[in-house]
Structure 1
Amino acid sequence: MGQGLDLKINRLPARTWNWLKMNEAGLNEIEAGESPTIITEGFTEAVTWREDFSAIATGMGEDMDRLAREANTDAIRIQSGPSEEERRAALHFVCGGGAKSFQPVELLVREGENLTVVMDFTSAPEAAGLTAVQTRFRVRKNARLRLIQLQLLGSGYTFLSDIGGSCSEGSSVEVIQLFLGGAETYAGCQADLAGKESTMNADVCYLGRDSQRFDMNYVANHRGEKSRSRILAGGVLRDRAFKLFRGTIDFKFGAVGAEGEEKEDVLLLGDDVINQTIPLILCAEEDVQGNHGATIGRLDDELLFYLCSRGMSPEAAAEMITRARLDAVCRKIGDEAAEQMVQDYLEEVEKNGR
């Protein structure tokens, strides 16, 4: 791949406050030419279909398609099972030191069926490299998709997660992401709520420490009548960590009766952290309801005093509150093996102070 690609990613659907330089992110000389090591679970057959997923827009934007073409890696395709089953599939990405990989994934949930896909990304604690995954989905009428991603990478890794898809009438997609490791995390997710009463829920949680960087872009495009979206983002920033979150609820013409909600809850545990947020609501339809809000602050002095009066040090109190926030999202995973993996990772972080 030579010197790699210069990419513009995570662009806001409508540019705003240009002087703040928050409308997009830039990546320089990005290479991802290797196939990652993936251990699959819950499916073995090769899935073929005639549908073209390449035209589906994603949260990180068109430049990720340039990276996909350069990588030239075959997509992993997973489809739902019979309606009486809750099909679960797992992709375990085992990332080696110095590796640079890109993996496309395509998910098809057929009418009235259900699919849960768990992706976890792991490496040695101090490993460095780059791993990228681009996930596209189609959720048919009255179908349900749950997509769970756990980023548990080493301290030198760059992680790219690009998601995009569409929801038909009465269907729903739930995205749960925990970003706990790595040096830099770039994530984007765009859901096209095309069908009447289609639904998108996203829960994003992060733990920023040392000089970790998180750059995120989430978009809910409301096209169907009475469509619903909810984007919840939250996490903890300490030391010199950086986070930029862009959240957009876009009510297209015709989305009568649609509702969108966006909330962020950030706990700051360091004087040198940088926290940036852009909540954006776009509206081309009158009969809609959109809400956004943010809670950003430090530990409550009264709570900290109470915990310290019970024998806890300020550091232990901060660790307990941090863990409680992460556990709240972890419990939403609904997969025992995945939840245990997160708990083991957090215990290792606390043990080694990393």
Structure 2
Amino acid sequence: MSIDTEQLFDSQAVTRISQSQQEPEWMLKRRLKALEQVDQLPLPRLEKTRIDRWNFTAFDPVSVHDPVSSSEELPEEVQQLISSEEEDTVFVQKNSSPIYLRLAEELQAKGVIFSDLATASREHADLVQKYFMTDGIQPEEHKLSALHAALVSGGLFLYVPQNVTIDIPVQVVFWASGKGLGTFPHLLVVGESGSHFNVVANFVSDPDSDAVINGAVEVFAGDNAKVRIASLHTEEKETTEVVYRRAVVGRDADLEWIVGDLNSGRTISDNTTHMKGNGGNARIKSITVGAGNERSNLTSTVRHWGSHTESDITARGVMKDQAQSILNGITKIEKGAVRANGVQAEKVLMLSREARGDANPILLIDENDVQAGHAASVGRIDPIQMFYLMSRGLSRREAERLIIFGFVGPVLDTIPFESLKKRMTDVIERKLG
């Protein structure tokens, strides 16, 4: 499919977006270069998923909103995404506008940078230029990444200096509201060597929103850093969301992804972690639940470049009604990554005959002295399990619920943030009816 973006977003429109955010000249140049690539690049090719008829361009890319001085001024449904006990460092963006930001004074004193991306591109240009869409996601990957680079609006930059620990999770909310809108959130996270911190990012939309979300998350974990990123997506049924997550892991660093792809519309989720430093460790834990006519293509990839690196991908999917989801797990061990160890397991539970779930584990090994393994399964609820539980007095609904939460337990039970675990549990309950 050919998307005529020139009629929708020309250089003047992109320049206006950049100028409205008071960005420096280098950021505008990057935008315009990416815009030139949009029509030259193809859409991403996805396993068993046609996206050529999905809406990626029919929207207004800018929706301006006034900031608020307190989280209490936010709608109740957005306030609920922010843990009141942990409201020290919080960022909220509505469509293309950052509307609320709070940074704990003690973190500011330690040199932590917590700023909307446009401000950071002016005040911390050297840092942003070094990391923004260079070694993580790159504009030339495909049409959608180039479109993101050209139209990115708002966004957050988090920088944690060397050996700094943040005890309370950093909370981020990207909120899509209204009709006919496109949002391009970008979360850029940099943890220097020896830093320890957690980030919880919620991507949400209003019930009546038909937004097109083209987002990116880039994470850089320096040597000996310990970083945990939780990314929860609960967009409504009329939305289309594309989210590309990229991480670069340094020497002896530890990175954990917790991903909840719980949207109700159309979803492309691509999570790639590069194990660049020797001795690094990465764990990717993901849950998806599909209902109605949802369509999703979800990929978790780990590429081992350094020696003695370890990775573990654990993915669980539950499908009901006519929902369809493709779960791809890819472990790539590059030449020279000796003593690397990569394992993965993708499992899909289908609750109806019309549902479809595919689990595709892939190992790509270019080195001999390594360990690697994979497991995958797609199936329905075991009738013997149901009979046993119902014979103990449980209703069919209660028995099914118990089996489902036992199935997703290997991911859900390991989430260290109680507020996030509760929210994910509530969303799963709601989607399962």
TM (norm. structure 1) is 0.86
Asked if the contact 1:237–1:266 (Cα under 8 Å) also holds between the matched residues in 2, the reply is yes
SS in 2 for 1:266: strand
Aligned partner letter, 2:199 = V
1:6-47: CA deviations, max 9, x gaps?
862265xxxxxxxxx638855644136236515555568435
CA displacement, residues 189-219 of structure 1 (integer Å, 9 cap, x when unaligned): 1111111111111011011111111201222
Check 1:104–1:327 CA distance in 2 against 1; reply closer, same or farther (3 A cut).
same
Change (3 A) 1:28 1:124: closer
The structure-2 alpha-carbon separation of the partners of 1:82 and 1:192, relative to structure 1 and needing over 3 Å to count, comes to closer
User: What is the aligned counterpart of 2:414 among 325, 332, 345?
Assistant: 332
In the other structure, the counterpart of 2:43 is: 8
Distance 1:25 1:59, change over 3 A: farther
Q: Could you tell me which residue of structure 1 aligns to residue 175 of structure 2? A: 94
Any residues of structure 2 matched to 1:1-354 within 5 Å, and which? 2=7, 8-9=43-44, 22=48, 26=52, 28-31=54-57, 33-34=61-62, 37=94, 39-40=100-101, 42=103, 45-46=114-115, 47=120, 48=124, 49=127, 50-58=129-137, 61-80=141-160, 83=163, 85-87=165-167, 88-98=169-179, 99-326=181-408, 328-349=410-431, 353=433
> Percent identical across equivalent pairs?
20
- How far does the alpha carbon of each residue in 1:118-142 deviate from its partner, in whole angstroms, 9 at most, with x for none? 1112233454322232011211110
**Residues 141 and 169, structure 1, Cα contact 8 Å, conserved in 2:** yes
Select between 238-247 and 36-45 the one with higher mean Cα deviation: 36-45
RMSD: 2.7
CA distance in 1, matches of 2:303, 2:398: 42
Greater per-residue helix proportion: 2
Q: Secondary structure at the match of 1:86?
A: coil
- Please give the alpha-carbon distance, in whole angstroms, between the structure 1 residues aligned to 2:103 and 2:351: 40
SS of residue in 2 equivalent to 1:148: strand
Which one-letter code corresponds to 1:34 in the other structure?
Answer: V
Would you say the 8 A contact 2:338–2:368 is kept in 1? yes
In 2 relative to 1, CA 81–289 (structure 1 residues): closer, same or farther, beyond 3 Å? same
- Unpaired runs of 5+ in structure 2? 10-37, 64-92, 105-112
Instruction: Output the amino acid matched with 1:306.
Output: Y
Letter in 1 for 2:287: C
Post-superposition offset of 1:347: 4.7
3-state DSSP of counterpart to 1:176: strand
* Greater RCO structure (CA 8 Å; 6+ sep): 1
Deviation at 1:254, TM superposition (A): 0.7
> Considering only CA atoms, is the larger Rg found in Structure 1 or Structure 2?
2
Which deviations, in whole Å up to 9, do the C-alpha atoms of 1:295-353 show, x marking residues without a partner? 22111121100122233333332233223444553333322332333344345446xx3
Shift of 1:69: 2.9
